[in-house]
């Protein structure tokens, strides 16, 4: 059974968020970090400990799938018990699913190298960026994906613009649905936006389902319900 990420991974009590960071010690690795969240009993789990097993699941699936459908890939990985309802692993899973599907659809990349780089970049985007930075990590993950497959650097020209443009398009679409956050909704939205952009700009056509249906509504206490385009109970 999947664990609900609206609660503490240690004691399963509700999480609380702060508008200013406080210094917390991770329950698992015992390192100290500045954090905007902990549970009611003040347990704190750092992003790396939170995501470790989930990242392993992401890499294993993406290295072994032959699917050209990034929605299928991301939904399959989301069924793993270490991919929680919300969390920073989604800042890697979006780009990784796109990398795998892009490769399988004919994109000329070294899959293992690209996934390793996606992990390295994705883990640098902390949890909560959607609310605290005003920039959802799922959209950032799309930009990382574009940068990786095009070998973009800060000194690139055409692909520098494309990497920023694809991020902006994903972010605008995510923002159009409003809050509160949902890592599943934002991941699906970012992938759909990126897939269309890649087809138009790079000529690589990844496959997509006729309709994206979310199976995680009951896990999300803040689900938008019928305001979410992927809400399963109204499909």
Q: Which long-range contacts (CB under 8 A, 24 or more apart) does 23-26 make?
A: none
- 108-117 long-range Cβ contacts below 8 angstroms, 24+ apart: 109/148, 109/149, 111/62, 111/63, 112/63, 114/148, 114/149, 115/59, 115/62, 115/63, 117/148
Band of pLDDT at residue 233, cut at 50, 70 and 90: low
Q: Are residues 96 and 24 in the same domain?
A: no
Choice between 76 and 47, residue whose per-residue pLDDT is larger: 76
Q: What whole-number percentage of the chain has pLDDT above 90?
A: 66
What residues contact residue 91 under an 8 Å CB cut-off, 6+ apart? Answer: 122, 123, 125, 127, 129, 137, 138, 140, 141
Q: Can you read off the two tokens belonging to residue 133?
A: 């930075």
Task: Encode pLDDT of 64-101 as tens digits.
Answer: 999 999 999 999 999 988 888 888 899 999 999 999 99
Say if residue 27 is in the same domain as residue 86.
Answer: no
**Token pair 């997509």 is at which residue?**
208
| Same domain, yes or no: 68 and 40 | no
Q: Say whether both 149 and 177 belong to one domain.
A: yes
Pair of tokens at residue 128: 């909560």
Residues 57 and 21 in one domain: no
In terms of residue numbers, what domain contains 9? 1-45
Look up residue 24 and give its two tokens.
């917390």
Whether residue 30 is found in the same domain as residue 13: yes
Same domain, 144 and 60: yes
pLDDT exceeds cutoff 60 at 2: no
39 & 124 share domain: no
Is the pLDDT assigned to residue 3 strictly greater than 60? no
């Amino acid at each position: 059974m999947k664990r609900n990420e609206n609660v503490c991974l240690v004691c399963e009590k509700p999480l609380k968020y702060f508008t200013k960071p406080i210094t917390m010690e991770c329950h698992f690795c015992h390192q100290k970090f500045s954090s905007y969240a902990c549970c009611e009993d003040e347990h704190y789990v750092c992003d790396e400990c939170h995501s470790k097993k989930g990242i392993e699941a992401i890499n294993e699936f993406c290295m072994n799938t032959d699917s050209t459908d990034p929605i299928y890939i991301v939904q399959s990985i989301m069924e793993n018990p270490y991919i929680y309802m919300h969390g920073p692993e989604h800042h890697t899973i979006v780009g990784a699913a796109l990398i795998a599907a892009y490769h399988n659809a004919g994109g000329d990349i070294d899959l293992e190298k690209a996934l390793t780089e996606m992990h390295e970049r994705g883990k640098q985007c902390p949890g909560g960026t959607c609310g605290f930075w005003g920039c959802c990590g799922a959209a950032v993950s799309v930009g990382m994906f574009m940068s990786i497959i095009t070998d973009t650097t800060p000194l690139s020209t055409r692909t520098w613009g494309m990497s920023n443009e694809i991020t902006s398009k994903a972010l605008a679409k995510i923002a159009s649905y409003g809050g509160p956050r949902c890592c599943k909704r934002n991941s699906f939205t970012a992938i759909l936006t990126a897939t269309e952009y890649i087809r138009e700009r790079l000529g690589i056509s990844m496959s997509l389902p006729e309709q994206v249906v979310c199976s995680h509504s009951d896990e999300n206490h803040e689900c938008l319900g019928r305001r979410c385009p992927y809400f399963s109970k109204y499909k």
